[in-house]
A and B are shown apart, each in its own frame.
Chain A
Amino acid sequence: MLVMRPAQMADLSEVQRLAADSPVGVTSLPDDADRLRDKIAASDASLAAEVSFNGEESYFFVLEDSDSGHLLGCSGIVASAGYSEPFYSFRNETFVHNSRELKIHNKIHVLSLCHDLTGNSLLTSFYVERPLVGSVWSELNSRARLLFVANHPERFADAVVVEIVGHSDEHGDSPFWDAVGRNFFDMNYAEAERLCGLKSRTFLAELMPHYPIYVPLLPDAAQEAMGQVHPRAQVTFDILMREGFETDHYIDIFDGGPTLHARTSGIRSIAQSRVVPVRIGEPIKGGRPYLVSNGLLQDFRAIVADLDWVPGKPVTLSLEAAEALGVGEGASVRLVAV
């Protein structure tokens, strides 16, 4: 059975294996043991801390095959984007340049470097092994976090954002980077992202000049790359769009990938999930798949289970599912349909 749970220090080498395979641009998953160790330690500390409002915490979960002990995916949440260092985005703005006399009405798009998304909670570090892409397990890998947020709302902000990796070609070149960042850094995209992973994105963002950029002056390829999703990030993009995240307002300053945002309370897995009492028994065949999580912190668990659940009634879990979640008869779980 595949179970989502908080990462532990013992997972480090497995996590690094996942990080090594994640696409360039997922800078929250650097292929770097020290950084990953810090990440797991921070998550551990955050889960252990008493928290009454979102601050410096971050949470990091892994998707484990409980039979083999192998990890198949991971995902994380940062409680407050830009808490310890500024969080940069390009805000996509529109200016109308209008001359009544000449009957010219131009909509001009401008990219403004901003810190608008500071303080929002940030979904990060999404990775699933390729065979799981498109399966219910990738839903679990992404949305278990959202159930965690639903169970611990005091730990998160009123809005959630996520940076989706943008378009880059098979050589690792990004047309957006080539048209924008490269002018200022004189290095290719892969090198820049590698530096971001090692030194932090802010380090580079602060070198980025701060005047807005007029989109019509960018080459067509760069304009087309704005808001475009890297093929390997499509899975997480699609999941989150179905969750009610919105796009178009912000893009990544390096690769032009979309930055999605949503009101926390409006996210589907949060708004539509229900907390229900558990019964242990034999689930009726022919149910539909649900994401099910216990409401715990350090012992947080989430799984996918086929259930025949009627709203307002307790849910019947198999013994195996209940054990995976660490819940017994009479406990409660949070669930939402996949």
Chain B
Amino acid sequence: MIVRPVRTADLPALIDLARTTGAGLTTLPANEERLAHRVGWAEKTFTGKAERADADYLFVLENDAGQVVGISAVAGAVGLREPWYNYRVGLTVCASQELKIHRQIPTLFLANDLTGNSELCSLFLRSDHRTGLNGRLLSKARLLFIAEFRESFGDKVIAEMRGMSDEQGRSPFWESLGRHFFKMEFSQADYLTGVGNKAFIAELMPKFPLYTCFLSEDARNIIGRVHPDTEPALAMLKGEGFSYQGYVDIFDAGPAIEAETAKIRAVRDSQALVLAIGTPGDDATSFLIHNRKREDCRITVGAARLAAGTLVVDPLTAKRLQLSVGDQVRAVPLSARG
């Protein structure tokens, strides 16, 4: 398995993938024209022809047979072209000592606070490949890429996690709030943002802060909570240093988690090393390894061991990276615990 930049030739495989994602993944709509456009931008991005505001680092996960089985992406910056909206979950206190009243009312403030940060997005792995280290490789490869090309990314990285919805894709938060203002199904609103039509949000959203006491109990209870399917992804990113700081998605109230780029584990702990090919041996641990290239970026996971400034990997791992002995790599243990 390797992670590499997307290419135009991947388009048919991407469309197949997009059709299986269901509601909730706003950045991978099953729209051929939009996907083709997106792949075009990704190619420009990897060749350095896109400004950070437009940069869309779209990666694919490819198995050894050359099939595309997953995707993940990083946006160079959110909100620099079109406004980026979140609700900040703040607090209103209603208190009078004389009346012995003290009420705390979580209050949603429409905010563009996360503007300018880089964003992890569009993660999708085909269900028959959700095994072993594939998910971690696909997600964390992005962090290693950020570590290598630090100047291409913001000081903070965010990730919007899918919020709670039921089996029919109905979001209690949307039913209690968005529906009143958008007069459409959650899935349609989700699709519209996915295809980049964000102007309608500004046109239709409530602009004043919202006291959550006016939302249904179901809606209140899921603010900042992720969909059960997204729990593993949340845990993984938390392990990398991401945390919830009170920003949620305006449609489904899923948490937008964030981390200072320099403090992300995979960024902070990654090292530039020289590649050695041999037998990693019994002490070997899983390393996330990047060939330090941009356009021809290849990132994989392999058993490896550190030895005097070199990273010792087996020949298959080197082949996956398309590297030879003595080439430069950037590597970090796949997980914090090694």
Contacts and interface: CB of A to CB of B under 8 A. Distances in A.
Contact of B211 (A95, A99, A101, A211): A211
Given A183-B105, A185-B101, A214 B200 contact: no
Chain B facing A: main interface SS = mixed
Interface stretch (B56-64, B113-121, B178-186, B285-293): B178-186
Given A185-B101, A207-B94, A99 B180 contact: no
A307 B104 CA distance: 62
A99 B201 CA distance: 9
B290 to A, nearest CB: 41
Contacts of B22: none
19 contacts: A95-B207, A97-B181, A99-B199, A99-B200, A102-B200, A108-B180, A108-B206, A183-B211, A184-B103, A184-B213, A185-B101, A186-B101, A207-B95, A207-B96, A209-B105, A211-B208, A211-B210, A217-B180, A218-B214
Chain A facing B: main interface SS = mixed
Interface in B292-308: none
A185 to B, nearest CB: 6
A184 B215 contact: no
A195 B199 CA distance: 47
Given A99-B200, A101-B197, A214 B103 contact: no
Contacts of B99: 185, 195, 207
B103 A186 contact: yes
B128 interface: no
B228 interface: no
Contacts of A217: 176-177, 180, 210, 214-215
The 4 A-B pairs with the shortest beta carbon distances in the complex, nearest first, are A183-B213, A216-B180, A217-B214, A99-B203
A214 B206 contact: yes
Contacts of A214: 180, 206, 208, 210, 214
Contacts of A213: 211, 214
B31 interface: no
A106 interface: yes
A97 B201 CA distance: 10
A98 interface: yes
A110 interface: yes
A209 B183 contact: no
A195 B214 CA distance: 24
Nearest to A180: B214
Given A104-B182, A213-B211, A214-B214, A184 B203 contact: no
Contacts of B203: 97-99, 104
Contacts of B92: 209, 211
Interface of B: 92, 94-96, 99, 101, 103, 105, 107, 176-177, 180-184, 192, 197, 199-200, 203-211, 213-215
A23 interface: no
Contact of B204 (A104, A195, A207, A218): A104
Nearest to B205: A97
Contacts of B105: 183-184, 209
A86 interface: no
Which of the listed residues A184, A207, A208 has the most CB atoms from chain B within 10 Å of its own CB?
A184
A213 B177 CA distance: 13
A289 interface: no
Interface string A108-123: 1010000000000000
A227 to B, nearest CB: 19
A286 B96 CA distance: 61
B208 A212 contact: yes
Contacts of B180: 108, 214, 216-217
A69 B182 CA distance: 63
Given A101-B197, A185-B99, A186-B103, 14 more contacts: A98-B204, A101-B200, A104-B182, A108-B206, A110-B208, A183-B105, A183-B214, A184-B94, A184-B105, A207-B96, A209-B105, A209-B107, A211-B208, A217-B176
A188 to B, nearest CB: 13
A185 B103 contact: yes
Interface in A211-252: 211-214, 216-218
A21 to B, nearest CB: 27
B129 to A, nearest CB: 37
Nearest to A214: B206
A158 B52 CA distance: 60
A104 B204 CA distance: 8
A95 B180 CA distance: 13
B202 to A, nearest CB: 9
A99 B204 contact: yes
Contacts of A207: 94-96, 99, 101
A315 to B, nearest CB: 54
A106 B94 contact: no
Contacts of B210: 211, 214, 217
Interface in A176-196: 179, 183-187, 195
A330 B261 CA distance: 93
A187 B103 CA distance: 11
A209 B101 contact: no
Given A183-B103, A184-B94, A209-B105, A101 B204 contact: no
Contacts of B208: 110, 211-212, 214
A104 B94 contact: no
Contacts of A102: 184, 192, 200, 204
Contacts of B181: 97, 106, 108, 216
Contacts of A208: 94
A239 B256 CA distance: 56
A108 B99 CA distance: 34
A101 B199 contact: yes
A8 to B, nearest CB: 34
Contact of B94 (A179, A209, A212, A218): A209
B101 A104 contact: no
Interface in A242-276: none
A212 B180 CA distance: 16
Contact of A211 (B101, B182, B209): B209
A99 B188 CA distance: 15
A211 B107 CA distance: 10
A195 to B, nearest CB: 7
A209 B204 contact: no
